[in-house]
Homo-oligomer: A and B are copies of this chain.
Amino acid sequence: MKIEIREQPFNAWQELHGYQETCNELRGKYGATAVFAGTMRDTNASAAVKAMFLEHYPEMTSRYLDKIAHQALQQWTIQDALVLHRVGDIHPEDTIVLIAVWCEHRDEAFQACRFILEELKHRAPFWKKETLSDNTTRWVSSNTPAK
């Protein structure tokens, strides 16, 4: 399992490819991989957004990402998981979060992936501050609802 907070841009699919290549003990064991990638859009709440600063509370963020992943491991039969989250200065098209879960079967993979995403969005201490096209800034006040 790999859980990391990243200060530099990363390509979600290359990370996934690279990580899975290293998981030799998983080969032939997993039948289902569910993945979510969250990407910065160039528009939010009807305004053009040109950049974003992603603040976090380093020790607590790491602690909660670990905690959330371990709660998923207790609830579902997960063979492996990968969670990457960006912080710092972010631009449109940058990946913000990547969550991948490897399981034997599809239902547990989907459920666990979604669980990790929702828990992360509701409990992990990250905050987004947007810079709009006129250079004004604003803190994002809440996440898009789950449903």
Contacts and interface: CB of A to CB of B under 8 A. Distances in A.
Interface string A66-104: 000000000000000000000000001100000000001
A29 B29 CA distance: 36
Chain A interface helix/strand/loop/mixed? mixed
Interface residues of A, number: 37
A126 interface: no
Interface in A18-60: 20, 27-43
Interface of A: 11-14, 16-17, 20, 27-43, 92-93, 104-107, 109-110, 114, 117, 144, 146-147
16 contacts: A12-B33, A14-B17, A16-B16, A27-B93, A28-B42, A28-B92, A30-B39, A30-B41, A31-B40, A32-B36, A32-B39, A33-B39, A34-B35, A35-B36, A105-B144, A110-B114
Given A13-B16, A107-B147, 5 more contacts: A13-B13, A14-B17, A28-B40, A32-B37, A33-B35
